[in-house]
Amino acid sequence: MSISKRLEEARKAYASGDTEAAARAHESQRIAAAAQEKHGGAGSQYLGNFVYGGLDGIITTFAVVSGVAGAQLDFGVVIILGLANLMGDGFSMATGAFLSAKSDQEYYARERQREAWEVEHFPDSEKEELHQLYLSQGYPEEDAAQMVAIKSRDHTRWVDAMMIEELSMLPDDRKPINEAFSTFAAFLIAGIVPLLIYLAGLLFKFNLPAPTLFYISMALSGVALFALGAAKSLVTGRNALMSGLEMLIVGGLAAGVAYAVGAGLRLLGVG
């Protein structure tokens, strides 16, 4: 059993108040087996990127559709602005995710290199620093001294302890390129939902009134927003129904603002 699966069992047992299930999740053999495996996996590692990237894609694209609908602009304008926003914002988000992950890893590596140098050149000072950190956390003098002695026996574990206790930093094994790709893919896949009816009209040459197209786009976007909001509960652990409704409301407000701006500009004679 992997760590993530054991933790999921423990969370479900806690949420339901099932002490027997909680006890099973904390059986020694399960803990030992889970400890042999690496934390997380590709699916759990990038789940947040897929969910949040997708939510941003839907909200921003539907905001564009709403703004164009409010301004009562032509059918083609929706497609042009929608696709331009989809590609431009998607690329921007992917680049941001890549640079953020890369910067975090570079900062961690630089700080770890500094801590390793300090441990090598000033071992007594680093031991005392770690000792004081443990004391500040409420450990008795004897326990703090023993923990320092144990940690300082191995250089790598010692540096790990300094990174965690002094800097509150954990290693991040995410791959920046995967961060970028998962964010971009989620943004495109989810963000194209509000445009589907308009693209279908372009491809199949059917002529529906502009309000009808907008209402269909609104319905598709609402369903997608609710679904992704519910999926967000896999990351946050919140109630799926409430999470879905919350995201539906947020997306609706964003679309409402965009629609009002478009309508206001139309009344002012812009466009």
User: What's the pLDDT tens digit per position in 22-64?
Assistant: 677 666 665 556 555 544 444 555 677 788 888 888 888 988 8
Instruction: Return the pLDDT at 216.
Output: 94
Q: What is the SS3 string spanning 51-114?
A: HHHHHHHHHHHHHHHHHHHHHCCCHHHHHHHHHHHHHHHHHHHHHHHHHHHHHHHHHHHHHHHH
Burial 157-181 (b: 16+ CB within 10 A, else e): ebbbbbbebbeebeeeebbbebbbb
User: What's the pLDDT tens digit per position in 84-100?
Assistant: 999 999 999 999 999 99
Band of the pLDDT at 70, cuts 50, 70, 90?
confident
Q: Contact, 237 vs 215, CB < 8 A?
A: no
Instruction: Report CA Rg, the chain.
Output: 26
What CA–CA distance (Å, rounded) separates 173 from 101? 9
Query: At 216, is the secondary structure helix, strand, or coil?
Result: helix
Task: 125-134: list long-range contacts, CB under 8 Å, 24+ apart.
Answer: 126/152, 126/158, 126/162, 127/152, 129/162, 129/166, 130/158, 130/161, 130/162, 130/165, 130/166, 133/165, 133/166, 134/165
User: What's the pLDDT tens digit per position in 127-147?
Assistant: 999 999 999 999 999 999 999
Average pLDDT, the chain: 84
Query: At 37, is the secondary structure helix, strand, or coil?
Result: coil
Closest CA to 195 of 64, 70, 55: 64
Instruction: Return the pLDDT at 36.
Output: 56
Closest CA to 180 of 80, 98, 102: 98
Q: How far is CA 80 from CA 73, 93, 136, in A?
A: 11, 20, 59
How long a stretch of residues is the chain?
271
Q: Contact, 180 vs 94, CB < 8 A?
A: yes
Instruction: Return the pLDDT at 1.
Output: 47
Name the CA dihedral angle for 179, 181, 183, 188, rounded to a multiple of 10 degrees.
180
